[in-house]
Chain A
Amino acid sequence: MPGMFSELAKLDNWSQWSIAPMAIVFAGAVATTLIAGFVKDSTRRSFIGQISIFCLAIAAAVNYVQWTGGWQDPGRLVWAGSMTLDYLTMLMNFVFIGCAILAILISLNTISELGIEYGEFYPLILFATGGMMCMVQATDLLMIFIGLEVMSIPLYIMCGMRRSQDRSAESSLKYFILGALAAGFLLYGVALTYGATGVTSLHGIQRWTMENGGLAANPLLTAGLALILAGFAFKIALAPFHMWTPDVYEGAPTFVTAFMSAAVKAAGFVTLFRILVTGFFQNGYTASLVGWGEIIAILAVLTMTIGNFSALVTKNVKRMLAWSSVAHAGYAAVGLAAAPAAGADGVGGVLFYVIGYALTSFVSFGVVAAFEKQNGGLSQVEDYRGLGYSQPFYAFAMTVAMFALAGIPPTVGFLGKWYVFKAAVEANITWLAVIGVLNSLVSVYYYLRVVVAMYLESPEEQAEQEPIKSSALWLAVLISTVLTIGVGLFPKKPLGAVEKSVSPMFVKK
């Protein structure tokens, strides 16, 4: 049939290729699945890991070409309006690829100690990464939902990868049940939104809302937004939907925990603010909206407080970090609560915060993974006594992570908190910033307890401590530590990228 190929030629206007980084990651995932199936020899496992890193590197390179504007001008809608290629997408692609590479690096040295004797971890992490990229790039609730599920389903399995261990299996079951519940809420919210507006694209919802007198005029749309919020609150662990977090984070293999607390949280926050800002918000139009800002402010207060006070009484380091991850979702939500009034500053604060937190959580969980590898079941704060002298490198990295999590300069954690709280003050919700600062002060206690244990207390018995030998793990911790301090010291370029990513969302059209 003549002319049939002319449709393929339509792909020549490069905009359709904007999904290339995501497609490369998915292609890598399928390829590594086949390799994992056909290569029986379990010693080839690290080979699959190296292929995965290679795929991610190619995707990052393509993404870099797009970032520099090599292919087309960004910001347009592509694929029938269901995807976009803006700087936010590209920045997050870098973040997700980076997170996946760091998680794979940590896994390379620790995966066999955990009894995971198969290579399926690598395709799964690639699928999850591709799902995140899809979710952030999508501007249609359908694509967002598919991205969310492609991200979540591999994570359910990854949590349970230590098949013979009770904790891992249970963690995976809990995450699955609550994740499925969250997906149900999210979907019902999308269905109600579709019922109210007749569309599922974010821009369509925005147009409908503007033409029909805002959210408050339509209870159906308000209920839809509430359910969507609840669904995402589950994913990013905002109280009161956070109950699964400590159990799942503790039971999952540590490199999976690191990946979840870094990348999944970032993906959830970015998608949430894309939905809220693009779909349910317009400049100069906020007064008549049912304020989702206020709802998120309340969730933020709850999340920060519950997370911090629970971390305060937790002795197990991994569980303490899980609670701290809940608290950090609360701090990031402060910026989101400020977004209706502070605009790009609020959302930019969230973006900078989640990226900074992603770096920091790779340092902290990387060190936890290293100490676990060395001592098997090393987990309580008391077990960290004296490690400052026997493991100077990892102890230093842990100190940096604890300072960053507590928000002490010159780390990225301080800057993140600074921007988020500044946005809250700009948005005239100073009380929220004050609660945030008070919470940070509380958190200093339990973060510094780890540092004090490492440097100032000595262990009961002087066991022979050999230096931890694991090059990939060392590299991952080194990279994330350097970035945690580096971005804190020289924030100009990262802030520029964040600014470039979020400001187009607030341009009046």
Chain B
Amino acid sequence: MGDLINQILNLPKDLPLGGGGSGGGLFRIGLAHYIALSAILFSVGALGVMIRRNVITVLMSVELMLNAVNVAFIAFNRFGTGIHTQNSHGQIFAFFVMAVAAAEAAVGLAIIINVFRLRETVNVDELDVLKH
């Protein structure tokens, strides 16, 4: 599966897949596994934002998306693709994503509390005064 994803992602064949040499085959965790995990997490988060009706769950889904991004950043940074320079931009980016995620969560919670005080509901289907 790892090779397949590597082909899809067009990554070099000789990419160091990590794992420290312990075990082989299925249990050798490499970049492809992390990217697959990150893609799945991101999709779950995006789906959650779109289909869940409870605003708190939507907020959690947003956090899931941002954390999926962090997984991707750290994995790409660790396995150094692209121009193969060893920089730490990916890790730095992950720090900033964490900080922004916290700020977004704080503002989001405050907005949700305000809406709940006014409407006594956190169901997005019932928040529709602007449609009328």
Could you tell me the distance between the alpha carbons of A246 and B111 in the complex, rounded to whole angstroms?
A: 19
Could you tell me the distance between the alpha carbons of A478 and B105 in the complex, rounded to whole angstroms?
A: 40
Which A residue's beta carbon lies closest to that of B55? A173
B-chain residues with CB within 8 Å of residue A153 when the two chains form the complex: 103-104, 107
Question: Which 3 A-B pairs rank lowest in CB-CB distance, beginning with the nearest?
Answer: A198-B82, A184-B65, A195-B76
A-chain residues with CB within 8 Å of residue B131 when the two chains form the complex: 247
A-chain residues with CB within 8 Å of residue B89 when the two chains form the complex: 142, 194, 199-200
Q: Does A170 sit within 8 A of B, measured CB to CB?
A: yes
**Which of A160-168, A265-273, A282-290, A432-440 has 4 or more CB atoms under 8 Å from chain B?**
A160-168
User: At the interface, is chain B mostly helix, strand, loop or mixed?
Assistant: helix
Which B residue's beta carbon lies closest to that of A251? B130
14 examples of A-B residue contacts, CB within 8 angstroms: A149-B103, A157-B107, A160-B111, A167-B130, A170-B130, A176-B107, A176-B108, A181-B65, A183-B100, A185-B46, A188-B42, A188-B72, A198-B81, A251-B130
Task: Choose among B50, B76, B111 the residue that contacts A173 (Cβ–Cβ < 8 A).
Answer: B111
Could you tell me the distance between the alpha carbons of A176 and B49 in the complex, rounded to whole angstroms?
A: 12
Contact with A along B31-70 (1 / 0, CB 8 A): 0000100100010011001100001001100100110110
B-chain residues with CB within 8 Å of residue A217 when the two chains form the complex: 10
Task: Choose among B49, B87, B124 the residue that contacts A199 (Cβ–Cβ < 8 A).
Answer: B87
Could you tell me the distance between the alpha carbons of A194 and B129 in the complex, rounded to whole angstroms?
A: 42
Q: Does A250 sit within 8 A of B, measured CB to CB?
A: yes
Contact residues, A144-177 vs B (CB, 8 A): 145-146, 149, 153, 156-157, 160, 163-167, 169-174, 176-177
Minimum CB–CB distance for A248 against chain B, Å: 8
Minimum CB–CB distance for A374 against chain B, Å: 23
Say which size band chain B's interface belongs to. Answer: 35 or more
Could you tell me the distance between the alpha carbons of A246 and B77 in the complex, rounded to whole angstroms?
A: 40
In the complex with contacts A167-B129, A181-B46, A220-B9, A194-B114 CB distance below 8 A = no
In the complex with contacts A184-B45, A187-B66, A198-B84 CB distance below 8 A = yes
Could you tell me the distance between the alpha carbons of A188 and B92 in the complex, rounded to whole angstroms?
A: 15
Say whether B130 contacts A191, CB under 8 Å: no
Say whether A218 contacts B10, CB under 8 Å: yes
A-chain residues with CB within 8 Å of residue B108 when the two chains form the complex: 156, 176-177, 180
B-chain residues with CB within 8 Å of residue A190 when the two chains form the complex: 69, 93
Say whether B62 contacts A184, CB under 8 Å: yes
In the complex with contacts A171-B130, A187-B97, A176-B9 CB distance below 8 A = no
B-chain residues with CB within 8 Å of residue A69 when the two chains form the complex: none
Say whether B114 contacts A160, CB under 8 Å: yes
Say whether B118 contacts A164, CB under 8 Å: yes
Q: Does B4 sit within 8 A of A, measured CB to CB?
A: no
A interface residue numbers (CB < 8 A to B): 142, 145-146, 149, 153, 156-157, 160, 163-167, 169-174, 176-177, 180-181, 183-185, 187-188, 190-192, 194-200, 204, 208, 217-220, 246-247, 250-251
Which B residue's beta carbon lies closest to that of A220? B9
Say whether A156 contacts B35, CB under 8 Å: no
Q: Which among B62, B68, B130 has the highest number of chain A CB atoms within 10 Å?
A: B130
Task: Choose among A160, A196, A219, A251 the residue that contacts B81 (Cβ–Cβ < 8 A).
Answer: A196
Say whether A198 contacts B87, CB under 8 Å: yes
Say whether A177 contacts B49, CB under 8 Å: yes
A-chain residues with CB within 8 Å of residue B73 when the two chains form the complex: 191, 194
Say whether B49 contacts A145, CB under 8 Å: no
Say whether A181 contacts B62, CB under 8 Å: yes
Q: Which among B46, B68, B82, B118 has the highest number of chain A CB atoms within 10 Å?
A: B82
Say whether A188 contacts B69, CB under 8 Å: yes
Q: Does B80 sit within 8 A of A, measured CB to CB?
A: yes
Say whether A191 contacts B72, CB under 8 Å: yes
Contact with A along B98-132 (1 / 0, CB 8 A): 00100110011011101100110000100111110
Could you tell me the distance between the alpha carbons of A68 and B82 in the complex, rounded to whole angstroms?
A: 40
Could you tell me the distance between the alpha carbons of A199 and B55 in the complex, rounded to whole angstroms?
A: 35
A-chain residues with CB within 8 Å of residue B112 when the two chains form the complex: 173
Say whether A166 contacts B118, CB under 8 Å: yes
A-chain residues with CB within 8 Å of residue B65 when the two chains form the complex: 181, 184, 187-188
A-chain residues with CB within 8 Å of residue B87 when the two chains form the complex: 198-199
Q: Does B8 sit within 8 A of A, measured CB to CB?
A: yes
A-chain residues with CB within 8 Å of residue B85 when the two chains form the complex: 198-199
Q: Does B90 sit within 8 A of A, measured CB to CB?
A: yes
